[in-house]
Structure 1
Amino acid sequence: MHSPAVPPAPRSDSPSPSTPPGAVTAGRVAAVLGAASVLLLVLVAAGWGPLDSWDRSVANDLHRWAVADPGLTHANRVLSDWVWDPWTMRLLTAVAFLVLWFRGSRLLAGWLALTSLVGALVSQGVKAAVGRERPHWPDPVDSAHFAAFPSGHAMTATVTVGMLLWLLRRHGTSGQLWHLALVVGIVSVAGVGFTRLWLGVHWASDVLGGWLFGGCLVALSVATYEGRALSRWR
């Protein structure tokens, strides 16, 4: 009498589930933006001549126009201080957090809040470490506090818009609604950077740094959440 066949044991070298494509793409974007952020940080901290000359040229031209056009300057101040202010961005994040929380997506809600908090800490930490002075004018059209690099307005808007767009896409937003959200997001991120330059409270590389650091954080957050580390809790 033959003994029953025993199924072969699973191979220990069987391929593990692959990392989701979205996580791989986000990870690559995070690596590229992270490298660009570090490079810019080094150049700013070292006071690299060509970058400094470019910053001053942009700042001088925009400040001259801002002084000559008080109406447009006032409009930029309203956009910067109210529409795209960091606290407005944080309010949007809080609303999204509550929506996710009460819909039962509590891990995702917490992840959104954590990403926003990390963004604020990174912004203030880099500002303190670099200690870059803001532009000084004999006839300023606005004022701002803390160090200049990176722009907190630009970084906060980038993190907020980036995370909200990811959440919309993740929940199936498509078609005209998605395109509208994308356009509003791009205009907001680009617009807040322009207002900070027009008002003469930041150098151009400060705004660029805010965009790079913010984009890197969003990509890293998405890559981590979508990757295998959190797959069993989703």
Structure 2
Amino acid sequence: MIAVAVFSVPFTLLMVLVKTSFTPLDAFDESVTLEMHADALDNPGYTAFLRVATEVFGPWTWRVLVVLTALWLWRRGAPRLAIWAVATIAFGGLLNLAVKEIIDRARPDLPDPVASAPGASFPSGHAMGAALGACILMLIMLPSLRSRAAKAIAWIAAAAVVVFVAYSRVALGVHWTSDVIAGVALGVVVVAGTAAGFETWRRAEGRRPVVPAEEGIEPEAF
């Protein structure tokens, strides 16, 4: 619940500032986008790599990975954990679409664009999808990592992937910086919120309390 509260603040603040067209935020977003667009034009090889990589780690990749993991969990006799994983990523995707409709922010309109994307801009679906997928998979797989060092490395790797996806969307000129920050924050809020609900469910059944970020949300499954 602390994670929900902490990450809700930047998302809500950015949503209000974007909706009200807060001039300093718009100016910051535009300056970063223009600078990164110039770099993209100067480095076509790297830009081509980003176009591929951003789709490799796109929302559908995370959805497929989560669904496959859920099927594996179901076969292992952990249907409740499988349902949580699929429900969380599905709810997150629908919430992203709903917020996009409400805010209806235009994407960057750049001269000589290096990439394109459909739909509204805020929040970034790719950034939110990466945050959702990475966090869901981490909370499932943490019990199989026995040492604290392994868990820390895994969290760092997951965070690096999320940051890279967010960066790629801005570097390709299809999102503003505030879009990707909001996307990551909202993704973490959704996972943390559903994980808290899952923990309440466990405790109601008399299972021992766990610290999800350290032990996963259902250590008994492993």
Q: Same fold per TM (> 0.5)? A: yes
- Displacement, 1:38? 1.4
Distance 2:121 2:171 in 1: 15
* Matching residue of 1:174: 146
1:4 counterpart residue number: none
Q: Which of the residues 52, 63, 80 maps onto 2:26?
A: 52
Give unmatched runs, 5+ long, in structure 1: 1-26
Worse-superposed segment, 30-39 or 126-135: 30-39
* Structure 2 Cα separation of the partners of residues 97 and 228 of structure 1: 18
1:181, CA displacement in angstroms? 2.4
1:33 aligns to 2:7 (yes or no)? yes
Quote the Cα distance in structure 1 between the aligned partners of 2:159 and 2:23.
30
For 2:159 and 2:109, locate their aligned partners in 1 and report how far apart those are by CA, in whole Å. 29
For 1:63, the aligned partner's letter is: H
Bigger radius of gyration, 1 or 2? 1
Inter-partner Cα distance in structure 2 for 1:101 and 1:172: 17
CA 1:184–1:229 in structure 2 vs 1: closer, same or farther (change >3 Å)?
Answer: closer
2:158 alignment partner AA: G
Give the deviation of 1:230 after TM superposition.
6.2
Give the superposition deviation at 1:147: 0.1
Moved more, 35-44 or 188-197: 35-44
* Corresponding residue SS for 2:158: helix
3-state SS, counterpart of residue 118 of structure 2: coil
Q: Cα distance, 1:232 vs. partner?
A: 1.7
Structure 1 residue 99, shift from structure 2 partner: 1.4
User: Unaligned stretches of 5+ in structure 2?
Assistant: 208-222
Find runs of 4+ consecutive structure 1 residues off by over 6 angstroms. none
Asked whether the equivalents of residues 33 and 212 of structure 1 are also in contact (C-alpha less than 8 Å), the reply is yes
CA distance in 1, matches of 2:113, 2:20: 27
Aligned to 1:42: 16
The residue aligned with 1:193 is 166
The Cα of 1:163 is off from its aligned counterpart by 1.2
Counterpart CA distance in 2 for 1:99 and 1:231 is 26
**Is 1:148 matched with 2:121?**
yes
Secondary structure in structure 1 of the residue aligned to 2:205: helix
Q: Where does residue 210 of structure 2 map in the other structure?
A: none
CA distance in 1 between counterparts of 2:55 and 2:206 reads 39
User: How far apart are residue 29 of structure 1 and its match?
Assistant: 1.2
Q: CA RMSD in A?
A: 1.6
Aligned mate of 2:107, from 123, 129, 134:
134
Letter in 2 for 1:158: A
Tell me how far 1:184 sits from its aligned partner: 2.4
Q: TM-score if structure 1 supplies the norm length?
A: 0.84
Q: Which of 52, 61, 65 is the aligned partner of 2:39? A: 65
The residue identity in structure 2 corresponding to 1:39 is L
Please report how far the alpha carbon of residue 106 of structure 1 lies from its aligned counterpart in structure 2 after TM superposition. Answer: 0.4
1:202 maps to 2:169: no
Contact 1:224–1:230 (CA under 8 A) maintained in structure 2: no
Change (3 A) 1:37 1:222: same
Count how many residue pairs are aligned between Structure 1 and Structure 2.
Answer: 206
Residue 92 of structure 1: CA displacement?
1.0
Residue 148 of structure 1 aligns to a residue whose secondary structure is coil
* Per-residue Cα deviation, 1:143-195 (whole angstroms, up to 9, x for no partner): 000100000000010011111111122x2423354344223211110000011
| One-letter code aligned to 1:139 | D
Letter of the 1:88 counterpart: T
Matched residue SS, 1:144:
coil
Distance 1:64 1:174 in 2: 45
- Give the C-alpha shift of residue 228 in structure 1: 4.7
1:99 maps to what in 2?
72
